[in-house]
Structure 1
Amino acid sequence: MKRWLLLVCLAAIAADVGPSPAAARSAPTCDSLWYNRTAIYARRGMCFKDERALRVFGQKCFRPYGKLTYRDQRRVNDIARQQRRLGCKTN
């Protein structure tokens, strides 16, 4: 039962790749784009070195250590394009 509940929770977290409905109605900001892009890596176990990412997501490294699925990579690329268009700092 616990394993099933864990799988359901993880599936729900993995499915939440895009912005919230409220954020989707407003124009994206550099901060919201940064958060959404970094959250994708955080869900995949990225070991962050950036202070801001550490403050927001913590140091919770786990396999696959930030390796993205094809879908995740496409979303990250889309966000990166939006960041460049807005002139966001992307460190």
Structure 2
Amino acid sequence: MRTTLLALALCPTILAPTPAGAAPLCDELWGERNAVYAEAGYCFRTPRGIRAFGNAGCRFDDIRDVPLSARDRQKVSAIVREEQRSGCRE
């Protein structure tokens, strides 16, 4: 996943998925974004999030309360932009 983000940062057009090819990229981006929140103690609510990350040791029920470093905020913002560009986010 980190390789994907590095590639996107260096050349944002390197991965220009077609609608049919967007799902694997979207899944990878979703995982990378939510891993940041999981590491910071977010308590996932969705079955997908709980399956992927669990809630053991979670501390924050509201994603807005999760304390992220400036670096993590930048990382999440970059992922969200790529998700939007790729048609991943509603």
Q: TM-score, normalised by structure 1?
A: 0.65
CA change 1:86–1:22 in 2 (3 A) is closer
Query: Aligned Cα RMSD in Å?
Result: 2.6
Q: Percent identity?
A: 37
Give the ranges of 4+ consecutive aligned residues of structure 1 lying more than 6 Å apart after TM superposition: none
How many aligned residue pairs are there? 71
Other-structure match for 1:35: 31
Corresponding position of 2:41: 45
Structure 2 regions of 5+ residues with no counterpart? Answer: 8-13, 16-23
The superposition leaves residues 60-81 of structure 1 with CA deviations (integer Å, 9 ceiling, x where unpaired) of 2037x63211110010000000
Query: Where does structure 1 lack aligned partners over 5 or more consecutive residues?
Result: 1-18
1:34-79 CA deviation, whole Å, 9 max, x = no partner? 000000000000011111010010012037x632111100100000
Q: Which residue of 2 is the match for residue 59 of structure 1?
A: 55
Per-residue deviation, 1:23: 8.0
